Chain A
């Protein structure tokens, strides 16, 4: 059942469309991420849910109630900001209890809830500290607790981890996800970090130019990108121009070599020029007996990425990346060496 619905949403500033034709249904307790580059409209969409922006057209409904034109303080929506936005003049406990105080809850109820929230974010000892006495990660946890203390129907998170260093970011995103699951709250998370979106979300909405490119689970978005934008934006991807040889047999030609795809050519004609995509981790060095989908290549560069080694190869006119797991007991090919690479037909993605 739909909990939050955005229907035909668009937003224009001085005639320029920032968000267009945005339709999304979010289920209760679902964690949905808006993923896209800067200026793609993801934050504007989030702000329309929060009530800080009013859509030019369309409707926002929460539990079937139309909240499109409701003031932000009339919606039961919690928000976590990139810049923490803790009130500097209040202690951690006062920050967390602020929303409940506004809603005129009793002192004992506020005290109890603040203690619950402090325990939830593991900052029990920091209730009397001021925000500037906390680290960035601690401040963002307090901001999360403050947004949750009011028991909002939806939790909105606007790039909450962007201001933190890499290690804290990874740790805190796991905490956010754990808290969201524990409380069963519906969450909308805005990020431009694909790894963050893939690791934390139930579903991802990939956006570009104010429009939705694709909505799907992290698995679908990563493994089956529907557009070249999604394919290029999410993860590292090799995109290659190919000629359709036989649509019925799913056969293509790349750099004069036949390549078999698993699907996606049914609506194509022989001779069509199309774009295909192959993930680096789905390309391997070919064994001698392997004959199909094999390309000869020259090793151009090798980049060590810790657990993964990324090899750049040249096959005819195309430069491709190939990822292999780092194995200290296996010798890597030399730069300039001639090798053969291959991929399964399932690894070949035909882009729309």
Chain B
């Protein structure tokens, strides 16, 4: 019975791996066929030497970094305050943070363009609007990661301990709370990073250089380079996930070692 169960477990696992990895493998193999008759990294070379790639990629990294900073500055104090002082607002705030899942990005971007393209709020050309929009789109992940981190520590007692030692709110937040939810913030940050790198509609409609619109543009123009770009994009996302795992595991191991 147990052996039969194991066989089925392996069967489903192999099926899952094939389902996810076959298309990726096919894309990778396709991306190597830019030079006729041989397998080569020509498509990758073409991308990496394309100034548009460098520009769009570096722009997206800038947007992602600012999105993460703004997200941390807004969501850490909010989640902290709600956990500490305003628990009755927890449900409505959680509902608001989940709205980006419900409202399609295309609807959101049209409302942004409509609202901010006329005086007195004529800021549709500002990069700040794009960063604000990215912050909203990544909000469900960032907020829930931070909230989960706060749930894992005794926020109230740590805060009161800090206060009784003379610390101000800012000191408590930056020197006690933030370092203790570092892993949660990092995981929220990397997910936000992956979202910004892959987000197409916002940058396209707000007419800003970004990685995803460049990829979409390339798909319409060329054959092998978009496949190579898809692999680069995957590698980037996995690298982010890997860093989250590494950071998380490092802390976990330290705690386990400390427990002995």
A interface residue numbers (CB < 8 A to B)? 50-52, 71-73, 77-79, 81, 83, 85-89, 98-99, 102-103, 130, 132-133, 143, 146-147, 150, 156
Are B168 and A73 in contact, with the CB atoms below 8 A? yes
* CB 8 Å contact bits of B156-194 with A (1 = contact, 0 = none): 011011111111100100001001101000000000000
Q: Knowing A85-B154, A89-B179 touch, does A102 contact B167 (C-beta < 8 A)?
A: yes
Q: Residue of A at shortest CB range from B153?
A: A88
Select the residue from B161, B163, B168, B182 with max chain A CB neighbours within 10 A.
B161
Q: Which residues of chain B are near A73, meaning CB under 8 Å?
A: 162-168
Which of B166, B167, B168, B258 contacts A130 (CB under 8 A)?
B258
Judging by beta carbons under 8 Å apart, are B166 and A150 in contact? Answer: yes
B residues contacting the other copy or chain, number (CB 8 A): 21
Q: What residues on B are CB-neighbors of A50 within 8 Å?
A: 160, 164
CB distance from B64 to the nearest CB of A (A): 26
> What DSSP secondary structure best describes chain B's contact surface?
helix
B23 on the interface (CB 8 Å rule)? no
Chain A CB within 8 A of B259 CB: yes
Q: Is the CB of B6 closer than 8 A to any CB of chain A? A: no
Which residue of the partner chain, among A71, A102, A132, A156, contacts B165 with CB atoms under 8 Å?
Answer: A102
How far does the alpha carbon of A251 sit from the alpha carbon of B128 in the complex, in Å? 90
**A78 & B164 in contact (Cβ 8 Å cutoff):** yes
Residues in B217-260 with C-beta less than 8 Å from chain A: 255, 258-259
- The reply to whether A132 and B255 contact each other, CB–CB distance below 8 Å, is yes
A-B contact pairs, 15 of them (CB 8 A): A52-B160, A72-B160, A73-B164, A73-B167, A73-B168, A81-B160, A83-B154, A83-B157, A85-B154, A87-B161, A87-B180, A88-B180, A99-B167, A132-B258, A150-B165
Residues of A within 8 A of B176 (CB): 87, 89
Asked if A147 meets B154 with Cβ closer than 8 Å, knowing A87-B180, A89-B180, A133-B258, the reply is no
Q: A73-B167, A130-B258, A147-B164 are in contact. List 17 more A-B contacts (CB 8 A).
A: A50-B160, A52-B163, A72-B164, A73-B165, A81-B157, A81-B161, A85-B160, A85-B161, A87-B176, A89-B176, A89-B182, A98-B165, A98-B167, A102-B166, A132-B255, A132-B258, A143-B161
A218–B39 CA distance with the chains assembled, in angstroms:
89
A72 to chain B, nearest CB (A): 4
Nearest B-chain residue to A81, judged by Cβ:
B157
With both chains docked as a complex, state the minimum distance between the C-beta of B124 and any C-beta of chain A, in angstroms.
42
List A contacts of B153 (CB < 8 A): 88
Complex-state Cα separation, A81 to B162, whole angstroms? 12
- CA–CA, A186 to B167, complex, Å? 22
The answer on a CB contact under 8 Å between A99 and B160 is: no
- B residues less than 8 Å from A103 (CB atoms): 166
- Residues on B with beta carbons closer than 8 Å to the beta carbon of A85: 154, 157-158, 160-161
Question: Which one of A78, A85, A86, A133 has the highest number of Cβ atoms from chain B below 10 Å of its Cβ?
Answer: A85
A150 CB contacts on chain B under 8 angstroms: 165-166
For the complex, what is the distance from the CA of A98 to the CA of B164, rounded to whole Å? 11
- B167 / chain A contacts, CB cutoff of 8 Å: 73, 98-99, 102
A147 to B153, CA, bound (A): 20
The CA-CA distance from A102 to B172 in the complex, in Å, is: 10
Q: How far is the CB of B252 from chain A (nearest CB, A)?
A: 12
B44 to chain A, nearest CB (A): 42
Residues of A within 8 A of B163 (CB): 51-52, 71-73
Chain B residues within 8 Å of A143, by CB: 161
Sorted nearest first, the 6 A-B pairs with minimum C-beta distance are: A99-B165, A85-B161, A89-B179, A72-B163, A79-B164, A85-B157
Q: Which residues of A contact B158 (CB under 8 A)?
A: 85, 87
Residues of A within 8 A of B258 (CB): 130, 132-133
Taking the closest CB of chain B, its distance from the CB of A261, in whole angstroms, is: 48
B161→A79 contact, CB < 8 A: yes
- Min CB distance B105 to A, Å, is 37
Residues from chain B with a CB closer than 8 A to the CB of A71 are 163
Residues of A within 8 A of B164 (CB): 50, 72-73, 77-79, 147, 156
Residues on the A chain within 8 Å of B182, using CB:
89
Q: Considering the complex, give the chain A residue whose CB is closest to the CB of B176.
A: A87
Q: Please encode chain B, from 128 to 163, with 1 for each CB lying within 8 Å of some chain A CB and 0 for all others.
A: 000000000000000000000000011001101111
Give A169 to B176 CA distance when docked, in angstroms: 28
> From B259, which residue of chain A is reached at the shortest CB distance?
A132
Q: Within the complex, what minimum Cβ distance (angstroms) separates A82 from chain B?
A: 8
Q: Decide: B180 and A99 in contact? CB cutoff 8 A.
A: no
Question: Which chain B positions have C-beta within 8 A of A130?
Answer: 258
Residue picked from A77, A88, A130, most chain B C-beta under 10 Å: A88
CA separation between A269 and B157, bound complex, in Å?
54
Q: How far is the CA of A157 from the CA of B81 in the complex (A)?
A: 26
